[in-house]
Structure 1
Amino acid sequence: MDAATVTVLGATGKAGRAVARAALRRGLHVRGTTRHVESRTDAPGLPDGVDRSVADLLTGDGLVDALRGADAAYLIVPNLHPAEVDIVARAARVAEEEGVAQIVYHSVADPDDARMPHHVRKGRAERELRAVRPDAVVLRPCAYQQNLLAPALDGRIEVPYRLDAPFSLVDLDDVAEVAAAALAGELEPGSTHVLAGPEDLTVADLAARATRVLGRPVTAAATTVEEWRAGPGAGLDPGAAADLEAMFRAYDGTGFTADPQPLARLLGRPPTTWTDLLRRHAR
């Protein structure tokens, strides 16, 4: 029997690449979308083994070809994209028209948190998707451990929110493993799954554990949103910068935590901890 064909939208992004690799490991035939006919030298390309399908998620150009003949589709929109709702709604309609049997959407934990506009867009996108495909599977991951891995390895984790705010950071590869299972049809149609890491840790905790695992000092430092705006945020699109600033304020207030049990059940094993991830990369 031929392997099922799955289309991963946005497969050149960090999360899209992880999902595509996980799907390949499951023996699925993976088709990944990119806006570029050839890989650019200044951006990650498709993972090895993934077939290229040129499609523009914003305009919809190429989307029919990308989804035609696919058994499943993974909908993931570039981070902070202002047109996420329209992109998801269009992709859902095209997938339905092309007879794609399984749709999986990459949302976010707490998609209706009004403090964070990019979360709210994902909540609206979920509802648009459900209106077309009530059988779609929705994944709601927390923030990724990988977001702070490079700073930890460099010895300084600097964030524009308080260092004692708690986070249920999740390993992106764990999320991708669940995504691949969903694409393979192993999750209940119409189900929604929150994917949170196994521990609630503060940035101070993350730095302390990194210090122990790496055997060298890793500092946790808090900066202000204004300092971030003048530094790392200076070159960002104004809309994306505003979304991130709103997120930082929300993080400063409550952190970002969720129940860890669903991920453990879906994986059938203990989820990856921050210490696990550090040890893997330290080697």
Structure 2
Amino acid sequence: MPEVLVIGAAGKTGRAVTRALASRGVRVRAAVRPGSTSPVYAGPLARAVPLDLETGAGLAEAMAGVDGVHHLAPNVHPGEVAMARRVADAAVAQGVSRFVFHSVLHPEDASMPHHLRKAEAEKVVRERIASATILRPAAYLQNLEGGVRAGLLEVPYSLDSRFTNVDLDDVAEVAAHAFIQDGYEGATLDLAGPETMTMREMAAVATEALGHPVEARELPLDAWLAGAGSGLPEQARNDLAAMFRSYDRGGLVGDCTTLRSLLGRAPRTWRELLAS
């Protein structure tokens, strides 16, 4: 039975990837920060291991003997490139056979500094592990789910910008396939959802699907900076503000063709997610 180290296992992406792997009979080492109390996927095939990505402490132990590594850095972390270098070097030293790097759709977009760090991290990984699989997902549908179920879709960018948001579980399924199927080696894969929608349209669909009104509301960026953004480190706040300005100008849109082909079925829609 293969075993995969999932880095960032306490986040929503890491939990989804761990769940997808375990459901396919793959053992998972779920890497979390030492002392973390954040929940990870609980199941007989998953066990938590301590790993400090910023220093590399615990990396060799966490990776020893695994067949694959799924690497995802903390969101908008300034040390993303150094983390990618550290993890990729360890994977080479350990002789890991399969490596998946979790990037982002359009990493070359210079309007978003954290996207450019993803692009540089991709380069670092590819230079060290030519066979690595790079996943470039769009924004997740799940990022908006909690708000619409409570009746409000509030975002700090234009309600008329267009997005091809993707189901996180579809992305996790592709990640799992990269460890248990051939043909993913060396691939760079854009993973966009099947619908191009504005926030207004997503709120309207949610109203129908959930059977209660869902308001779409644009929060001025200054209000976000003074509110939810005020408690963030300056660099993270600036990165996210740049992302919101980019979304305000042009949204984030990709092509669903690759995801549909990899899944062998239609990817899940916004309405289907809300109905589940």
- The alignment's TM-score, normalised by the length of structure 1, stands at 0.95
- Preserved CA contact (<8 Å) 2:30 2:40: no
Which amino acid in structure 1 is aligned with residue 26 of structure 2?
A: L
Structure 1 segments unaligned to the other structure (5+ residues): none
Q: Over residues 101-128 of structure 1, what are the superposed CA-to-partner deviations in whole Å (9 max), with x where a residue is unaligned?
A: 0000000010010000110000000000
Structure 2 counterparts to residues 58-207 of structure 1, below 5 A: 58-207=54-203
Which amino acid in structure 1 is aligned with residue 25 of structure 2?
A: G
Name the count of aligned residue pairs: 275
Which amino acid in structure 2 is aligned with residue 25 of structure 1?
A: S
Q: Partner of 1:53: helix, strand, or coil?
A: strand
- Preserved CA contact (<8 Å) 2:4 2:27: yes
- Preserved CA contact (<8 Å) 1:108 1:141: yes
- What is the RMSD computed on CA atoms of the aligned residues? 1.0
- Hey, what does 1:215 align to over in structure 2? 211
Which amino acid in structure 1 is aligned with residue 123 of structure 2?
A: R
- Hey, what does 1:44 align to over in structure 2? 39
C-alpha deviation, 1:238, in angstroms:
1.1
- Preserved CA contact (<8 Å) 1:208 1:218: yes
Q: Partner of 2:172: helix, strand, or coil?
A: helix
C-alpha deviation, 1:230, in angstroms:
1.0
C-alpha deviation, 1:274, in angstroms:
0.3
C-alpha deviation, 1:236, in angstroms:
1.0
Structure 1 distance, partners of 2:214, 2:48, is: 40
Structure 2 distance, partners of 1:226, 1:216, is: 30
Q: Over residues 99-157 of structure 1, what are the superposed CA-to-partner deviations in whole Å (9 max), with x where a residue is unaligned?
A: 10000000001001000011000000000001100110000000000000000001011
- Hey, what does 1:10 align to over in structure 2? 8
C-alpha deviation, 1:45, in angstroms:
3.1
Q: Partner of 2:230: helix, strand, or coil?
A: coil
C-alpha deviation, 1:186, in angstroms:
3.1
Q: Partner of 1:234: helix, strand, or coil?
A: helix
Structure 2 counterparts to residues 249-268 of structure 1, below 5 A: 249-268=245-264
Structure 1 distance, partners of 2:223, 2:39, is: 29
C-alpha deviation, 1:36, in angstroms:
2.8
- 27, 40, 57: which one aligns with 2:25: 27
- Preserved CA contact (<8 Å) 2:40 2:48: no
- Preserved CA contact (<8 Å) 2:18 2:28: yes
Q: Partner of 2:49: helix, strand, or coil?
A: strand
Structure 1 distance, partners of 2:255, 2:264, is: 16
Change (3 A) 1:35 1:46: farther
Moved over 3 A (4+): none
Structure 1 distance, partners of 2:247, 2:113, is: 13
Structure 2 distance, partners of 1:13, 1:108, is: 16
- Hey, what does 1:238 align to over in structure 2? 234
- Preserved CA contact (<8 Å) 1:168 1:196: yes
- Preserved CA contact (<8 Å) 2:6 2:30: yes
Q: Percent identity among equivalent residues?
A: 47
Structure 1 distance, partners of 2:181, 2:123, is: 21
- Preserved CA contact (<8 Å) 1:74 1:183: no
- Preserved CA contact (<8 Å) 2:141 2:166: yes
Q: Partner of 2:229: helix, strand, or coil?
A: coil
